[in-house]
Amino acid sequence: MARIGVFICHCGHNIASTVNVEELVEFAKTLPEVVAAEHNLYSCSEEGLGSIRKSIEKNKLDRVVVAACTPRTHEPLFRKTVELAGINKYLFEFVNIREHVSWIHAKEPKSATEKAKKLVAMGVAKAALLEPQKEGESSVIPTAVVIGGGIAGITAAASLVAQRIDTHLVETESRLGGNLADIEVIGPQFLKSKQLLDELIMELKTSTKAHLHLSSRVTEVKGFVGNFEVTVDRAGKAGKIPAGAIIVATGAKEWTPNGEYGFGTVPGVITQQDLETRLAKGEKPKRVVFIQCVGSRQPGREYCSRVCCNASLKNALRILDAAPDAIVSILHRDIMSYGTASEHMYRRASERGVRFVRYGLDRPAKVSPSKSGAVVEVFDETLDEDIDMDADLVVLATPMVARDDSRELGKLLKVPLDKFGFFLEAHVKLRPVEFATDGVFICGSARWPSSVSECISQGKAAAAKAAIPIRKGKVVIEAITAQSDSDKCSACGNCVIACPYEAIEIVEADGKRYAKVNETLCKGCGTCVAACPNDAMQQRGFTTRQLGAMIDALVKNAMEETP
Amino acid sequence: MTDFRPTILAFCCNWCSYAGADLAGVSRLQMPPNVHIIRVMCSASVKPEYVLKALSQGIDGVLVLGCHIGDCHYMTGNHRTAKRMPLVQKVLKETGIDERRLKLDWVSAAEGEKFQKVIVDFVQEVQMLGPSPLREVRF
């Protein structure tokens, strides 16, 4: 008989406001082999973890079930906790009653509680059959690949190189620097971007640890953390780079308007990037109107691109620095100048006489050609009346959008993208700059439109994370690999064919032929388990008995309810 | 008909559909509370026996959700699921169980809304089919 302890998390109000936690605890106490059940305000807090450890000791628990959030973020923490209390970490089972219950059945507390009971019963049934496991280890190739040579990518690469890690930087363009190479000055400190880029690029060009692949593109990625093989193609010539970790830093691009506000028809209507180029050439425009949120924060592209307000504020100030008598207006829906330095830039722009005009999405500005350039008509929400202004330049602040090749790269790396095509990190707070896939990291605007300083900190963060497996020299293989029972195996070979990793072979021992799994090659997908007609193949942590017990627990608890 | 609250079992793969279910949760997308998820590493590890075990004991519907074809974390795992589950449906049909009680679909880690839609639609479909005829037949 197992001695199972069940811990139900309130997650503050997140779970407890929908699921009746006390009722769930009482229910858990009635389940077979459960000797203790309690609830915690936050199971993952120091206090919650402490009470789990105490209960393990007091009740001599040998299995732990936590019903809380998702194993995808919190399983490692709880596994570590039970391990500290002397229980093998594979004798832990996670039940998700937040993402899969309270958050999605918020208006049905009674049904939500009933569902949570069934899920806990299923978790307990599996826990009773869990077995202690020993993890394997595999070696790590001490090389990193950084995809993308913009500011995030070169920062990450320089940071890895500084740690004496061989780093391959793959860039599709023939030069490094990405979008930043086309921007002369970076706000809010008004730093010359060339100075920043030259320094980083020099570090890379002079280091024997850095290997630059310009005008190149990643065409294939194989393997897993510690043992990737990245194929890089340059003008039809492909080379393979073995690597332990991969950083994605492919950036984003400025959205090009589709004729909005006279773009392409009215002279002087340009994008922010066009303005950057003109200012870099020394142009001194006299009458400039910026229009913010062109193509963003509207149906179809709801997000705020975050960098465009600061870019307009910066360029407004640059225009006034070059020509103090210039007339600069910024038409906005909200000014997003987050951070103290940017907020200061906003205040300075106000003090210097930049006109801020708030407009609404329902009454956008109209731009038409005039004798001296363009005229912008807009309904000023603050004045509550229509105003018009003459402009030599109308600058459309468009959002950063995902690159067209992001989706293809996501497929190669088997990492997800959000609905706008930006890469989706594992967890914003718990696992920033990481993908759910081990050994692959993300930084910069490929993840979300980011300022230069954000790109730099994320680049450094991704490099620090990528260096962990490389510096350790080994990665732990989760004990979820498959094993075959030579007594049950009929050596039919179905599993050999099914395995995507060629990790299984038919061997002969003691006059018997049977399937044998190479556990360093096995990635724990369980495909062979379903292919096995004799129930001989089992995946550790997902055995047919364990999953069967979960199904039985659901049946038992569902059938007792009236349909 | 609408009083019938079906019990549904779902197998979700760790990398895509389970993460999609998590995203639906994080996005607070509301859906009927009939679906109970068993997390597996890959949809290709779902044995036909699991489906039969659940349905034969009166579970009203089984969902198998994997990564989209081409996106499988294990390269080609879901190709097998795509071939296997229609076969299981054939077996169900042969034995007199409505094959619509088993549904296979793909949900990526970024598709919280798709997950919600799959759940809402399947619960509705199973409601329409009515309680499993095997509910009363316990072995």
Across the interface, do B74 and A105 touch by the CB < 8 Å criterion?
no
Pair of tokens at residue A349: 């722009």
User: Residue A430 — pLDDT band, cuts 50, 70, 90?
Assistant: confident
* Predicted pLDDT at B1: 47
> What SS3 string covers A372-416?
CEEEEEEEECCCCEEEEEEECEEEECCCEEECCCHHHHHHHHCCC
Q: Which residues of A touch B73 (CB under 8 A)?
A: 414, 437, 525
Say whether pLDDT at A196 is over 50. yes
Half-sphere exposure at residue A160, Cβ-oriented, CA atoms within 13 angstroms: 35
Cis peptide leading into A399, omega within 30 of 0?
no
Give the model confidence (pLDDT) of A149-194 as tens digits: 999 999 999 999 999 999 999 999 999 999 999 999 998 999 999 9
Mutate to test the interface with A, among B30, B35, B63, B74 (most CBs of A within 10 A): B74
- As a whole number of angstroms, the distance between CA A178 and CA A503 comes to 41
* Predicted pLDDT at A561: 66
Among residues 474-503 of chain A, which lie with CB inside 8 Å of chain B? Answer: 480, 498, 500-501
Q: Alpha carbon of A92 to those of A58, A74, A248: distances in Å?
A: 17, 12, 33
Among residues 287-326 of chain A, which lie with CB inside 8 Å of chain B? Answer: none
For chain A, the average pLDDT equals 95
Per cent of chain A over pLDDT 70 is 99
- As a whole number of angstroms, the distance between CA A66 and CA A130 comes to 14
- Among the partner residues A418, A554, A563, nearest to B36 by beta-carbon distance: A554
Q: Which residues of B touch A434 (CB under 8 A)?
A: none
- Among the partner residues B47, B58, B77, nearest to A525 by beta-carbon distance: B77
Across the interface, do A112 and B33 touch by the CB < 8 Å criterion?
yes
> Could you tell me the residue ranges of all domains in chain B?
8-129
* Predicted pLDDT at A562: 53
* Predicted pLDDT at B139: 46
Mean pLDDT value of segment A211-235: 95
Per cent of chain B over pLDDT 90 is 84
Q: Alpha carbon of A85 to those of A53, A79, A190: distances in Å?
A: 6, 10, 54
* CATH number attached to the domain at B8-129: 3.40.50
N-term to C-term CA, chain B:
27
Pair of tokens at residue B66: 């994997």
Residue A551 · residue B50 · CB < 8 Å: yes
Q: Which residues of A touch B24 (CB under 8 A)?
A: 99, 104
* Predicted pLDDT at B138: 53
Pair of tokens at residue A212: 């630059």
Across the interface, do B22 and A96 touch by the CB < 8 Å criterion?
yes
Taking CB atoms and an 8 Å cut-off, how many pairs form between chains A and B? Answer: 155
Q: Does A509 touch chain B (CB under 8 A)?
A: no
Q: What is the ipTM of this complex?
A: 0.97
- Domains of chain A and any CATH numbers: 4-135 (3.40.50), 143-253+402-475 (3.50.50.60), 256-398 (3.50.50.60), 482-539 (3.30.70.3270)
- As a whole number of angstroms, the distance between CA A477 and CA A557 comes to 35
Mark A218-253 as b/e (b = at least 16 C-beta within 10 Å).
beebebbbbbbebebbeeeeeeebebbbbbbbbbbb
Q: Does A530 touch chain B (CB under 8 A)?
A: yes
- As a whole number of angstroms, the distance between CA A64 and CA A93 comes to 6
Say whether pLDDT at A120 is over 80. yes
- As a whole number of angstroms, the distance between CA A227 and CA A511 comes to 36
* Predicted pLDDT at B70: 81
- Nearest chain B residue (CA) to A106: B30
Give the model confidence (pLDDT) of B24-68 as tens digits: 999 999 999 999 999 999 999 999 999 999 999 999 999 999 999
User: Residue B2 — pLDDT band, cuts 50, 70, 90?
Assistant: low
Across the interface, do A103 and B33 touch by the CB < 8 Å criterion?
no
Mean pLDDT value of segment A273-280: 97
The CA distance from A104 to the nearest CA of chain B, in Å, is: 4
| Owner of token pair 């906003």 | A346
